[in-house]
């Protein structure tokens, strides 16, 4: 893709780096994330209107700590250092950083200096979110202090002449009340951004580039019913029309009635060619006897590749393969492998044999999930699909703790469907970011109809989150949970106990496996 104004984010290891990028995109400015050690020549070639340095868990004095090129300060491009990014800037440009005798983790009050363009006219004090053990003790030459907290005498600093700014707190998290405004001021007032990034312009350019790349050839696209693959299919169809071949592999691990919904969406609603493959038996055979989560994920991924390869061969020569890779996938792959082109083993169709000799196209590779949803709306995708809760690639195989059997999948499908049905009936589906049921590998004693039972336990999980990087358990009314539990126990044979998971992320994860 060739976008207008661009911002570059150099990742120093923060868990919030993707969130910084999302906030920048939300403000109408296109951005990309690269590792902190991106050579200065490549930074310059990228042509950013501004550079942001993320936070990170290390100390600038620690062995192996990220140390971006100090030449960033001399490119003539505005730079904003965040948390570790501020400490690196102070250290690299001649200031001093030292361990704080009063570490700040969590909420704090920030007292800004109105002389700094990022803070002029904003409230003082203002609530911010801190996460650091070191602090800037002495400012580099040319910098002035731009604010303080009780634990940090220099919680922000700037050198207006060179366009260099740094803040110790995290403006990207919702806990920092004025964080969005601080980022907006850096992007628009300091960098001179005009805000030319939106989903509509993306659709037009993506369609044009797909047509140029594919020419008159056919494209094969695997769809799962999830948001990413559904949006990708509609975007591809707009670009190549009837030369698009859609394939849906039903691995038997989907939610209740989901295969029929996928077929209705593409074949009946959008009138697209869809090759449906029922492969549940093969997947259950591959999962037989497996209990460890990663082993199950790999088994599902390996079997998917085998089925996909065989079915693709039956379609004849197709030079292009579409994958629903989105930008977070690329960022995560780059963070773990050093390459932004590596796809997770269980994601989309990653790991296809080289002998297939297909050129991969990734039309959504530059988008975050919320941007993918907006593109889906522009392409006419029904809101029921656009707003669907996330679903893991291995399906219910990783929502059944332990071994996976067809009977357990059928049981979990019913319990999960009842839970989601009640959430929709209560008008809470859009308020909940993700909700599902988990089948546990334990049995408990119960009483039903004056008889002793010894049956399975279902755990319910529902979270509220804006970014899925952190999440809190959703506060249902007790009466709602009582109603759901009663329905599951009475309507799902084999279950006599229901529990509700109230673990946040962190320390837990959203999924159980």
The answer to whether the CB of 205 falls within 8 A of the CB of 30 is no
Supply angle C-alpha 42, 32, 66, rounded to 5: 65
Return the pLDDT at 461.
Answer: 98
Q: 267-272: long-range contacts (C-beta < 8 A, 24 or more apart)?
A: 269/382, 270/234, 270/237, 272/233, 272/237, 272/244, 272/246
391 closest CA partner among 488, 511, 304: 511
Predicted local confidence at residue 348, as pLDDT: 44
Give me the count of residues in the chain. Answer: 513
**Which pLDDT score, from 0 to 100, does residue 332 have?**
62
* Catalytic positions, written as ranges: 83, 170, 172
pLDDT of residue 199: 82
Q: What are the C-alpha distances in Å from 344 to residues 271, 297, 348? A: 31, 11, 8
CA-closest candidate to residue 83, choices 153, 139, 14, 7: 14
Among 177, 165, 175, 182, smallest CA distance to 120 is for: 182
Largest CA distance in the chain: 81
- How confident is the model at residue 349, as a pLDDT? 39
Q: Output the CA angle 35-183-127, nearest 5 degrees.
A: 110
Average pLDDT per block of 10 residues along the chain, 513 residues long: 80 88 92 94 95 92 90 95 95 89 78 96 93 85 94 93 95 91 97 88 89 94 89 94 95 95 89 94 97 94 91 92 84 47 36 70 88 91 87 94 97 98 97 97 88 93 84 96 98 97 92 94
Please check whether residue 127 is in contact with residue 177, taking contact to mean a CB–CB distance below 8 angstroms: yes
CA separation for the pair 68, 398 (Å, rounded): 39
Considering the entire predicted model, what is its pTM? Answer: 0.76
* Beta-ladder partners of 105: 131
């Amino acid at each position: 893709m060739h976008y207008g104004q661009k911002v570059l984010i150099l990742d120093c290891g923060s868990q919030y780096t993707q969130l910084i990028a999302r906030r920048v995109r939300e403000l109408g400015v296109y951005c990309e994330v690269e590792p902190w050690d991106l050579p200065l020549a490549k930074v310059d070639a990228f042509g950013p209107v501004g550079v942001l340095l993320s936070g990170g868990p290390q100390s600038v004095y620690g062995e192996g700590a990220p140390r971006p090129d100090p030449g960033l300060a001399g490119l003539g491009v505005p730079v904003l250092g965040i948390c570790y990014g501020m400490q690196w800037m102070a250290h690299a440009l001649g200031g001093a950083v030292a361990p704080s005798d009063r570490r700040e983790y969590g909420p704090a009050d920030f007292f800004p200096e109105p002389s700094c363009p990022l803070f002029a006219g904003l409230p003082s004090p203002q609530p911010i979110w801190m996460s650091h053990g070191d602090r800037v003790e002495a400012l580099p030459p040319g910098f002035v202090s731009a604010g303080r907290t009780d634990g940090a005498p220099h919680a922000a600093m700037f050198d207006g002449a060179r366009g260099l700014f740094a803040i110790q707190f995290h403006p990207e998290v919702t806990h920092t009340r004025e964080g969005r405004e601080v980022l907006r001021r850096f992007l628009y007032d300091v960098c001179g951004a005009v805000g030319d990034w939106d989903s509509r312009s993306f659709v037009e350019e993506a369609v044009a580039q797909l047509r140029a790349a594919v020419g008159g050839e056919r494209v094969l696209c695997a769809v799962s019913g999830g948001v990413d693959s559904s949006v990708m299919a509609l975007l591809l169809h707009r670009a190549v029309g009837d030369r698009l071949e859609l394939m849906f592999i039903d691995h038997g691990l989907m939610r209740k009635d989901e295969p029929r919904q996928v077929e209705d969406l593409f074949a009946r609603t959008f009138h697209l060619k869809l090759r449906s493959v029922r492969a549940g038996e093969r997947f259950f055979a591959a999962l037989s006897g497996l209990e460890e989560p990663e082993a199950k994920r790999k088994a599902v991924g390996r079997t998917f590749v085998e089925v996909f390869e065989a079915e693709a061969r039956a379609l004849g020569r197709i030079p292009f393969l579409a994958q629903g890779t989105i930008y977070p996938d690329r960022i995560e792959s780059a963070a773990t492998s050093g390459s932004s082109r590596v796809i997770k083993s269980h994601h989309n169709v990653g790991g296809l044999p080289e002998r297939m000799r297909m050129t991969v196209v990734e039309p959504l590779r530059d988008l975050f999930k919320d941007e993918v949803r907006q593109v889906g709306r522009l392409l006419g995708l029904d809101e029921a699909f656009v707003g669907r809760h996330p679903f893991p690639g291995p399906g219910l195989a990783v929502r059944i703790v332990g071994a996976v059997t067809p009977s357990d999948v059928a049981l979990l499908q019913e319990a999960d469907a009842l839970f989601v049905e009640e959430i929709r009936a209560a008008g809470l589906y859009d308020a909940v970011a993700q909700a599902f049921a988990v089948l546990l590998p334990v049995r408990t004693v119960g009483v039903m109809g004056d008889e002793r039972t010894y049956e399975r336990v279902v755990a319910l999980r529902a979270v509220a989150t804006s970014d899925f990087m952190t999440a809190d358990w959703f506060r249902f009314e007790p009466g709602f949970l009582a109603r759901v539990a009663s329905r599951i126990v009475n309507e799902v044979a084999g279950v006599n106990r229901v529990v509700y998971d109230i673990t946040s992320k962190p320390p837990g994860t959203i999924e159980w496996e």
